[in-house]
C-alpha cells in the first residue's frame, strides 16, 4: 500500500512539473556590463535545484569522511567487546560441560580483555556488570576445583565492583554473588558462615524461595531446628515443596524441637507456630501431647490438642495405623485425672459412644474402662477392663489393663481375682 501511494505521488509530481514547465514562458535576464544574458526560467530553476543537491551531497560526503576515524574507533571497540563477550559465553559453556579449569581461564580472559579496553580509554557502559559476571564465573569454577583461595579472591572482587551504569543490574549481581557464597559455605559444611551471608542480604531478597531454601539447609546443618521450622513453614506457604515432602520435613523438625523443649511456655509457643495442617497430623499431636505431660503440663491442654485427632479417628479409623491408635489411647488415658468437670464428663460420653458403636475394639474398651475407674464407676470399669485385657495386642497396655483389674478387685476385697489378674499381668 505504501509503495502504491509513493508511485501515485511521483506521477502527480511529474504531471505538475510537466504542466508548469510547458506553460512557463518566463525568462531571467542577467546583466553583466556590457553583456546581457537571457535564460529561461525553467533552466534557472533546474540549475538551482541541481546546485542545492550538489551542496547537500558534498556536505554529506565531507561529514562521512570526517566520521571515518570515529567509526573506525567504534568498530575496534565493538570487535574487542565481542571478543570479551565470546570469551564469557565460552566460559559458561565450559562450566556447564564440567570443564572448570577452562571455564576459569575463559573468565579470566574476559577480565584481561576488559582491562585492556579500559587502559586504552575505551570504557564500556556495562563494564562493571561484565567484570562482576566474570568474577562470579571464575569463583564458581574455583569452587568446583576446591580452590578456596582463588574463589575468595574473585568473590571479593565481585562484591567490590562499583554500582555505576546499570545500578539495578549490578545490585542484582552483588546479591546473586552473596547467595552463591552462602551455597558454597553450605558445600563446605560451614553452616555459620552460610547464615552470615544470608543475613547480609536485603529483606526482600532474603524472602525469595532460593534464599529461604539455603537458610533452611543451613539452619538444619547448624542444629537450629527453631529457625529451620520457621523457614520451612514460610516455604510451605509459598508452595515450595510437595505436600508429602512438607509433611515429612515439618514432622522431623517438630520432633527435634520437642526433644529440645524443657519449658511449658516454649512448648506452648511451639504449638502456636504450627499451622492447622501440622496440628492435625496424628504423630505430631501425639508427640507434643506426650511431651507436655512429661513436663507436668495441664492435662486439659493435651485433650484440647488431641480432640481433632480423636474426631478423625472416629470418622476415618482406617487412616490410622495400629501404632498411632495405641499411642493416642495411652496419652488420653494419662491425661484423665478423674475430676468431676464438665470437660471430663463430655469425654466419657464421647468415649462410651465410640465404644458402643464398635464394641469389639479392645483399645476403646480399655480407655472407657480406665476413665470409668478414675471417675469411680467401679462396676462398669471392672466389666470393660476384664473384657478388654485378654484382647489387647500390645503387651504394655495389656499388663496395665490387668493391673487395673487387680486394683478394682482389691477395692472390692476380692483378693482371689486380684491375685489372678496380677499373675496374668506378670506372665503376659
Q: What is the mean pLDDT of each run of 10 residues along the chain (428 residues)?
A: 80 69 71 79 79 90 82 76 86 90 90 80 77 90 90 88 66 88 90 89 85 88 83 81 78 83 86 82 88 88 89 86 87 84 85 84 84 81 80 83 79 75 72
What confidence score (pLDDT) does residue 102 get?
92
Predicted local distance difference test score (pLDDT) of residue 412? 75
Which residues touch 149 (CB under 8 Å, ≥6 apart)? none
Contact 180, 140 (CB under 8 A): yes
Please tell me the pTM assigned to this model. Answer: 0.65
pLDDT at 228: 83
The CA distance from 102 to 108, in Å, is 10
Please name the residues in contact with 221: beta carbons below 8 A apart, sequence gap of 6 or more.
186, 189, 191, 194
Residue 21, pLDDT score? 63
Whole-number pLDDT of residue 164: 55
Task: Report the b/e string of 315-341 with b at 16+ CB within 10 A.
Answer: eeeeebeeebbbbbbbbbbebbeeeee
The whole-angstrom separation of Cα 375 and Cα 397 is 20
Query: Cis link prior to 132 (omega < 30° from 0)?
Result: no
Amino acid at each position: 500500500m505504501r509503495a502504491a501511494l509513493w508511485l501515485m505521488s511521483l506521477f502527480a509530481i511529474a504531471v505538475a512539473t510537466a504542466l508548469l514547465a510547458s506553460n512557463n514562458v518566463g525568462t531571467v535576464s542577467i546583466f553583466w556590463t556590457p553583456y546581457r544574458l537571457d535564460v529561461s526560467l525553467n533552466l534557472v530553476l533546474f540549475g538551482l535545484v541541481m546546485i542545492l543537491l550538489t551542496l547537500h551531497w558534498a556536505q554529506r560526503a565531507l561529514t562521512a569522511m570526517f566520521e571515518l576515524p570515529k567509526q573506525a574507533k567504534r568498530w575496534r571497540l565493538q570487535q574487542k567487546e565481542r571478543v570479551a563477550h565470546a570469551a564469557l559465553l565460552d566460559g559458561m559453556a565450559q562450566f556447564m560441560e564440567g570443564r572448570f579449569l577452562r571455564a576459569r581461564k575463559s573468565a579470566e580472559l574476559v577480565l584481561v580483555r576488559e582491562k585492556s579496553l579500559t587502559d586504552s580509554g575505551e570504557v564500556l557502559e556495562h563494564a562493571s556488570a561484565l567484570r562482576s559476571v566474570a568474577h562470579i564465573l571464575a569463583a564458581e569454577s574455583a569452587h568446583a576445583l576446591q580452590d578456596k583461595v582463588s574463589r575468595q579472591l574473585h568473590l571479593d572482587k565481585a562484591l567490590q565492583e562499583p554500582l555505576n551504569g546499570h545500578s539495578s543490574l549490578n545490585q542484582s549481581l552483588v546479591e546473586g554473588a552473596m547467595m552463591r557464597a552462602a551455597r558454597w559455605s553450605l558445600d563446605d559444611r560451614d553452616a555459620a558462615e552460610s547464615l552470615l551471608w544470608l543475613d547480609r542480604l536485603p529483606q526482600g531478597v532474603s524472602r525469595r524461595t532460593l534464599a529461604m531454601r539455603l537458610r533452611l539447609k543451613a539452619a538444619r546443618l547448624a542444629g537450629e531446628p527453631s529457625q529451620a521450622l520457621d523457614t520451612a513453614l514460610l516455604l510451605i506457604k509459598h508452595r515450595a515443596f510437595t505436600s508429602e515432602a512438607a509433611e515429612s520435613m515439618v514432622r522431623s523438625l517438630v520432633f527435634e524441637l520437642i526433644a529440645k523443649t524443657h519449658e511449658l511456655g516454649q512448648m506452648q509457643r511451639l504449638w502456636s507456630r504450627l499451622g492447622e495442617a501440622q496440628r492435625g497430623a496424628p504423630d505430631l499431636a501425639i508427640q507434643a501431647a506426650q511431651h507436655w505431660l512429661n513436663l507436668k503440663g495441664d492435662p486439659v491442654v493435651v485433650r484440647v490438642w488431641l480432640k481433632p485427632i480423636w474426631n478423625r479417628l472416629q470418622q476415618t479409623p482406617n487412616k490410622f495405623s495400629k501404632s498411632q491408635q495405641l499411642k493416642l489411647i495411652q496419652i488420653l488415658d494419662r491425661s484423665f485425672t478423674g475430676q468431676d468437670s464438665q470437660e471430663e464428663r463430655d469425654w466419657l460420653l464421647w468415649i462410651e459412644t465410640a465404644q458402643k458403636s464398635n464394641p469389639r475394639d479392645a483399645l476403646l474398651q480399655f480407655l472407657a474402662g480406665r476413665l470409668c475407674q478414675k471417675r469411680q464407676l467401679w462396676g462398669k470399669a471392672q466389666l470393660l477392663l476384664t473384657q478388654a485385657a485378654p484382647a489387647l495386642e500390645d503387651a504394655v497396655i495389656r499388663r496395665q489393663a490387668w493391673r487395673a483389674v487387680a486394683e478394682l478387685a482389691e477395692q472390692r476385697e476380692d483378693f482371689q481375682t486380684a491375685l489372678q489378674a496380677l499373675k496374668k499381668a506378670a506372665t503376659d
